Chains A and B, each alone.
Chain A
Amino acid sequence: MKTLLEVKNLSVEFKTEDGSVRPLDQASFQVEEGQTVCIVGESGSGKSVTSLAIMRLLEFENGKITDGQILFEGEDLATKSAEEMRKIRGSEMSIIFQEPMTALNPVFTIGQQLMEGLQLHQGFSKKEAWNRSCELLNLVGINDAQDRMKQYVHELSGGMRQRVMIAIGLSSNPKLLIADEPTTALDVTIEAQILNLLTELKDKINMSIILITHDMGVAAEMADYIVVMYAGKIVEQGTVYQLFDEPTHPYTKGLLQSIPSAEATTDERLYSIRGTIPSLNNLPTGCRFHPRCDFATDKCLTEVPPLVKENDRLVACWNINDVLEKSRGEKVEIL
């Protein structure tokens, strides 16, 4: 498989009243062509910042890329001018957000918003843009496209709005679609429709997807590859099967264990990671997870663990052997 996107040692800083914070620290991962990569983690882990950094939308949020490269088909997006980025955003990459109500403009019709990009970036005539827009709406499962084109956002349901967002995202035939919690605001039956739609589209037009989610269930269903983030750091990454079959970082392990499984009986206590995610302006020294970790040693308090290849995937932890020994022991007990 060919690599479409390679993020290398990417760091991001935001200026705040209390000095600058670093919501993303030395992140590296790759997206292959046609692959779905899920970035998972809890709120404040840096998932959305990563997506904004890749799209170079950070500048609009008072953020700055301070280090690293974003290689998209070999070209570094981190150093592109605003004008060049605008062109790339309109053609090669698209992003869809959690809340389509705020991402779509309430005073323009659906048609106007779909056609805008087509006319601006792809030089379509008005008529061509209209026809292509209707095609796109059909593609995302909206049947009465001609009528929907004339409607405004408030006239559509949440699921319908997200479909329109996806249609706009697809209008430029992107090679990479970044979907930031696209189903979090939706009901479960509608969520299933949208996730199904994304999978179908990906296969149909051979697009890569970066899907950002806090829901391990969504990641399990959608991902080829998973990147786990905690407090601005990537702590583990590997294929979906590696991560779910044998989570290696204590945080990944804890995250998976906190989800009530079908087998868990009601009498058992739910596993929970103690404490809470630290705030960015008060990060722990050494490994950022150490105050909540059952395996933490003195080394974890002072030294930052690098992301290295262990157990056939990338993990940032000083005590991998202890973790694996323990989980293998647990498995034997179950048997």
Chain B
Amino acid sequence: MIDSVEVKLRLDDTQNQKKIILKADHIKKYFPVKSGILSREVKYVKAVDDISLEIFEGETFSLVGESGSGKSTLGRALLRIQEPDEGTISFDGKDITAMNRQQMKDVRKDMQVIYQDPFGSLNPRMKVIDLIAEPLDINNLYRGKERVERVIELMELVGLDPSRRNRYSHEFSGGQRQRIGIARAIALNPKFILADEAVSALDVSVQAQVVNLMKDLQKELGLTYLFIAHGLNIVRYISDRVGVMYLGKLVEVGNVEDIYSRPAHPYTNALIQTNPNPNPRSRREKLILKGEIPSPSNPPSGCRFHTRCPIASDKCKEVSPELREILPGRLVACHYPLI
């Protein structure tokens, strides 16, 4: 009986076949904490602790979670911007875990990053044309007239006035600077873009412009996004699938609408309930989590969420729940999922 269900699930999977563009297995990233006069490494901050995930080609996969949950570290580890301590990563069918610098340089043409702070991530001494052409220059692509043409093309693509290409980035507003960041990221025609809090620092009206641009580019260029954010409204709007992180662990993964309408992990449920809803008529008693996110250098035993979980039992204090598939495409790490 159980076997036949499993067979059926697999059949479903093959029917709507999606190509996996990035696959990560058992990724760990620990940061040593030094203390004492001899600076001995005594503890580790387990920023990313044994995470596996798959991202499909052409989708937007979002990582959400509070500060200290490890979402940015995971994003960087997947691109090997920060080397993971353990685990394997394959991108576009190739194992990139052990690639050397030169090989990675080639792969990186296909995996680019947009950062949060458009003020801090753009060199103030460079003109916009050189900022946008920098990825081209590094890879010795396009020279002279072609280079200028490519920059103009990119500026038009992201909605910047190409006649302003010889200006410096401080002459642009926050939203426009983020567009420069996006133009840099797409300059090499990548397949995959990590957007690390790319719209979090922007005002709402400008945020909407940039999100629309990102969606347009996704359609036009067939991009896959790994979107890291803490704003739940924007995540719901932009994502196909969502992964929820808590203290270095992935606690829930699934389709965005499924997760938002029926969260399975108590933490996801609390996040969604406490998210300020722009509707004064939906004010209600909320499930407000007690306490704070514990220090990642000394995470709780068992399920890391048990100290704040409204339904935790003794089992949760001892046994760490594995991330398991409870419905097709829905993974939850909880002994007592809500659905």
Q: Which residues of A contact B (CB under 8 A)?
A: 42-43, 157, 159-160, 187-193, 195-196, 214-221, 223, 240-241, 244, 254-256, 258-262, 264, 266, 269-274, 276-277
Contact = CB atoms under 8 A, between A and B. Distances in A.
Interface stretch (B123-131, B182-190, B207-215): B207-215
A279 B223 CA distance: 35
Give the 3 A-B CB pairs with smallest separation, nearest first.
A217-B276, A260-B237, A272-B208
B254 to A, nearest CB: 15
A276 B237 contact: no
Given A220-B280, A223-B280, A271-B208, A187 B234 contact: no
B238 interface: yes
Interface string B111-139: 00000000000000000000000000000
A212 B204 CA distance: 15
B280 A261 contact: no
Contacts of B204: 42, 214, 216, 255, 258-259
Contacts of B211: 260, 270
Nearest to A192: B274
Interface in B43-87: 66-67
Interface of B: 66-67, 173-176, 203-209, 211-212, 215, 230, 232-234, 236-240, 256, 260, 270-271, 274-283, 286, 288-289, 292-293
A217 B278 contact: yes
Contact of A244 (B176, B280, B286): B280
A188 B274 contact: yes
B274 A189 contact: yes
A277 B175 CA distance: 11
A99 to B, nearest CB: 14
A187 B271 CA distance: 10
Given A42-B205, A191-B274, A272-B212, A260 B233 contact: yes
Chain B interface mostly: helix
B238 A266 contact: yes
B205 A157 contact: no
Given A188-B66, A266-B237, A244 B208 contact: no
Nearest to A259: B278
A188 B232 contact: yes
Max chain B Cβ within 10 angstroms of own Cβ: one of A188, A216, A264: A188
Contacts of B279: 220, 244
A157 B296 CA distance: 13
23 contacts: A42-B204, A42-B205, A187-B66, A188-B66, A188-B276, A189-B66, A195-B276, A196-B286, A196-B288, A215-B276, A217-B277, A217-B278, A219-B278, A254-B205, A255-B205, A259-B278, A260-B233, A262-B277, A266-B238, A272-B206, A272-B212, A276-B175, A276-B206
Contacts of A221: 276-277, 280, 283
Contact of A220 (B66, B212, B277): B277
A242 B288 CA distance: 28
Given A217-B278, A276-B173, A260 B236 contact: yes
Contact of A258 (B66, B205, B215, B274): B205
A42 B207 CA distance: 11
Given A160-B292, A187-B230, A223-B280, 8 more contacts: A42-B206, A187-B66, A191-B276, A192-B286, A216-B278, A258-B204, A259-B204, A271-B208
